[in-house]
Structure 1
Amino acid sequence: MVTFKGNAVTLAGKAVQVGDKAPKVDLVAGDLSVKSVGGASGKYQIINVVPSLDTGVCATQTRKFNEKAANIPNTQVFVVSLDLPFAQGRFCSTEGIENVIALSDFRNKDFGDSYGVILAGSPLEGLLTRAVFVVNPDGQIVHKEIVSEITSEPDYEAALKAVK
């Protein structure tokens, strides 16, 4: 169950599980180009999902992944939100985020739908919930955490262990 400030919320989309092939989804990068996450990429992918980089917990989560995953070989780290690419770029520039690739699902919520992380029935309805997915180089989901309380941080170490 997922809650927002103690109140139950529902998630929309097709939930994926550990062991599933990670859906390959196109997202929008800061320069408005299209970049894909999921699928087989030959590298580990840590997909850090947040409701909005404009909140304290989301910013902390992204900063921590920027620090903790910086030196992990053969790994790409992403932050996915519905923030506009311009706002994501400003956040990354201001915060010195250099090891995380910010991507936006604002165009059609394909990521949110494909991974089952669209918030429904809450004040944050329509945004993405807080989650972390780790995809191995062959495109298989090897770690999934849908954070049970949206205002809480994820288990960073569990995600990093999935890569090591």
Structure 2
Amino acid sequence: MNVTEQRWHVLMAHRPRLLALAARMGAGADAEDVVQDALLRTATFANLMEERAWPFLATVTARLVVDHHRRTARDQLLSRHAALMPRPQEFEEAVADGDEARRAATLIARLDPEIRHLLRLRMEGATWVQIGSARGESAAAVEMRYRRATAPVRRAVNRAAGSRK
């Protein structure tokens, strides 16, 4: 048996204890990977005294488990932050959205001033009930007049959106 095989024989004898240590420290499903990494690092350590292999392996394994926990926590934090970040639009999408907005603005400018006023109130958060009450009309009547007047705008915008997909 050569020196490398002898070293692996000594190190592999500690593998079951290392797996138990990694599991106790919370490595979970990654315990096997942590132990394999610890064994490889220890096997390539030039100044290893084989009679001190267990304490060395235990220390390396413990540090790798801690590193694993840190990496997992960092990845979870980054994924939570990434989920909150707005997704950048592709250049073409941004241009198309700008074109749609300009077309819609042109169509809206052609609407009756009364309907544009209703649109502005809706954009500011007013409900149909509030608008109808302020105008002395029912909410349903105001909403119906608004929807009929803005239907051509919605159709034109939807057509333009459908043609770019």
Q: TM-score range by the shorter chain?
A: under 0.3
Give the number of the structure with larger relative contact order, counting CA–CA contacts within 8 Å between residues 6 or more apart: 1
Kindly indicate which of the two structures has a greater share of residues assigned to strand. Answer: 1
More helix by share: 2
Larger Rg: 2
Per the normalisation by structure 2, the TM-score is 0.18
Q: TM-score, normalised by structure 1?
A: 0.19
